[in-house]
Amino acid sequence: MSLTTKFLGRTYASPIMNAAGIRCTTTVELDQLRQSSAGTFVTKTATLNPRSGNAGKRLAALPNGSINSMGLPNEGIDYYLDYLTNLPDHGHDAFLSVAGFSEGDQLAVLSKIAASDFAGIVELNLSCPNIVGHPQLAYDFEATDALLAKVFAQFGQLELGVKLPPFFDPVHFDQIAAVLNKYPIKYINSINSLGNGFFINPDTDAPMIEPKSGFGGIGGGYAKPTALANVRAMRERLRDDIAIIGTGGVQNGRDAYDLILCGASMVQVATLLGEEGIAAFDHLNAQLQTVLTAKGYPNAEAAVGQLVTNVKH
């Protein structure tokens, strides 16, 4: 049984990797990811200029997951492009996550990538929940359509995917899928954290985190059923040539397998990786291998989308 996975013409030793934002902000962290047993890695979402992010305590562990309002702290697009383009493969096997605060910003970040030697995959983060005054773009279907029209008109040569927020209604699944199906998107990544949740610290009766009066993105176990729903719903609606990365609530190999059954070709790990560090990949790879072997699959790819649809009582 091999975990070897093909994705966008690349071959990875495992389908499991970090999610953007988790242990991937500095070159030291990126080196650690490269040396780990993760199949590949994605950078922290990069903006045109470096950002220190939201002030105060901005990440907390919860009983079954996490809450964060980081506010997009990152070293800026030039830093990540410099790191990636100096790798032996010019970052061919890596993912570069990017975001902008306006259409102009987003396009400026992409022009920098297009003008560089970066040979990898670009992930447009349309779903950051934690920037004051900036709603998650993908919840505005018209604005998403308008941005993607410009992006693909100008940067059609880039290999582009999009990071989506969770959707909660079949009509919204239909609407976002209809927009995405219009463009030569290579993949979607579902889901980003459950935006603007709230959790009270029982010791203090105050919110767990400081920015935005305590509202923040929820990840970990709380996110798993919503992640499975989004991967499944999008697989049912997207063009076959649009691949899916599944993210949300992966705590063990079975969780990764469930996302794969719903249609994910790759699986990303956020909260668990934040808590456990890169040793999490060793455990998850071993556990995923055990599940796939027990279920009789020769490799991870063979299980993609193999959800059994007749409910057995």
- Residues near ligand RRO (CB under 6 A): 21, 45, 68-72, 125, 127-130, 192-193, 217
Nearest distance, CB of residue 117 and ligand RRO, angstroms: 25
Nearest distance, CB of residue 129 and ligand RRO, angstroms: 6
Which of residues 33 and 98 has its CB atom nearest to ligand RRO in the complex? 98
Nearest distance, CB of residue 57 and ligand RRO, angstroms: 13
147 by DSSP, 3-state: which?
helix
Q: Is 262 a residue of the active site?
A: no
Nearest distance, CB of residue 230 and ligand RRO, angstroms: 15
Do the beta carbons of residue 4 and residue 12 sit within 8 Å? yes
Catalytic member of 128, 190, 262, 265: 128
Which of residues 45 and 265 has its CB atom nearest to ligand RRO in the complex? 45
Per DSSP, 46 falls in state B
Q: Which of 151, 66, 168 is nearest to 108 (CA)?
A: 151
Which of residues 189 and 287 has its CB atom nearest to ligand RRO in the complex? 189
Amino acid at 86: N
CA torsion, ordered 226, 228, 232, 233, to nearest 10 deg: 0
Q: Is 66 a residue of the active site?
A: no
Which of residues 167 and 297 has its CB atom nearest to ligand RRO in the complex? 167
CA distance readout (Å), 313 to 148, 204, 254, 309: 44, 45, 21, 12
Which of residues 128 and 300 has its CB atom nearest to ligand RRO in the complex? 128
Nearest distance, CB of residue 283 and ligand RRO, angstroms: 23
111 CB-near residues (< 8 Å, 6+ apart): 154, 155
Do the beta carbons of residue 144 and residue 179 sit within 8 Å? yes
Q: Which two tokens stand for residue 241?
A: 């040539």
Catalytic member of 97, 127, 193, 265: 127
CA distance 291 to 200: 36
Which of residues 128 and 304 has its CB atom nearest to ligand RRO in the complex? 128
Concatenating the DSSP letter of every residue in 274-288 gives HHH-THHHHHHHHHH
The alpha-helical segments, DSSP class H, found in the chain are 27-35, 77-85, 103-114, 141-155, 170-180, 224-237, 253-262, 271-276, 279-294
- State the catalytic residues: 127-128
